[in-house]
């Protein structure tokens, strides 16, 4: 269509734009090797954050209603249903317990009609932006993979088995995450 859809700067920062001209993916950094990718919905005013990916391996994707869908860290990840119920939980190096989650079974998320996320492993988390013939695929996986899982084992959050507590905890984490992002 002749419209600009990708702006990249020499320092690695940039933007991917929706056909409307709104920002789809914002690429920023704190340090030259610590990038943050913020995926926004296609809205002119007050767009919601659909996902945040950090090159450290910490990432969160949200359902359309703002609840957490997937949360990744250097230890592993969680996948949640819209009602807050935990569907999957895994660690990147434990291949015995988690056969229905990465790295043995990839997770695919469609954040909207243009953006999808494909989680294969800790270092292979792909975000694809697609509109007609314009497409870009960015690997948003961890740049520094944990070699000694024992170092991070104590940092693994405890799993909450009570559905009411789990739902409340998710709401609190979602609000705190949004407050933290707004303060940045």
User: Can you list the positions of beta strands (E) in the chain?
Assistant: 6-8, 14-17, 23-31, 34-40, 49-54, 59-62, 68-72, 76-80, 86-91, 107-110, 115-121, 124-131, 134-139
**Mean pLDDT throughout 44-61?**
92
Cross-strand partners of 126: 118, 139
Write the pLDDT tens digit of every residue in 8-49. 888 888 999 999 999 999 999 887 678 899 999 999 999 999
What local confidence, expressed as pLDDT, does residue 56 receive?
85
Question: What pLDDT score does 155 carry?
Answer: 47
Q: Where do the structural domains in the chain lie, given as residue ranges?
A: 6-175
Residues 135-147: pLDDT tens digits?
899 888 776 655 5
Q: What pLDDT, on a 0 to 100 scale, did the predictor assign at position 114?
A: 94
Whether residue 71 is predicted with pLDDT greater than 90 in this model: the reply is: yes
CATH class of 6-175: alpha beta
Q: Among 61-65, 137-141, 151-155, 158-162, whose mean pLDDT is lowest?
A: 151-155
* Residue 119: band (very low, low, confident or very high) from pLDDT cuts 50, 70, 90: very high
Tell me the longest C-alpha to C-alpha distance in the chain: 52
Q: What is the pLDDT of residue 156?
A: 47
Residue 30: CB partners within 8 Å, gap ≥ 6?
36
| Angstrom distance (rounded) from CA 16 to CA 151 | 36
């Amino acid at each position: 269509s002749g419209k600009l859809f990708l702006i990249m700067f020499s320092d690695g920062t940039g933007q991917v734009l929706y056909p409307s001209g709104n920002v789809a993916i914002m690429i920023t950094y704190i340090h030259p090797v610590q990038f943050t990718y913020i995926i926004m919905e296609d809205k002119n005013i007050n767009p919601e954050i659909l996902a945040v990916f950090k090159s450290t391996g910490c990432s969160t994707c949200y359902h359309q209603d703002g609840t957490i869908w997937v949360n990744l860290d250097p230890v592993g990840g969680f996948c949640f249903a819209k009602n807050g119920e935990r569907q999957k939980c895994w660690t990147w190096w434990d291949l015995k317990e988690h056969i229905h989650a990465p790295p043995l079974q990839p997770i695919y998320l469609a954040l909207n009609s243009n953006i999808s996320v494909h989680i294969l492993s800790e270092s292979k988390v792909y975000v694809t932006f697609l509109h007609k013939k314009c497409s870009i695929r960015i690997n948003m996986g961890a740049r520094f993979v944990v070699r000694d899982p024992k170092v991070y084992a104590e940092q693994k959050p405890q799993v909450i088995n009570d559905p009411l507590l789990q739902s409340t905890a998710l709401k609190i984490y979602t609000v705190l995450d949004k407050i933290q992002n707004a303060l940045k």
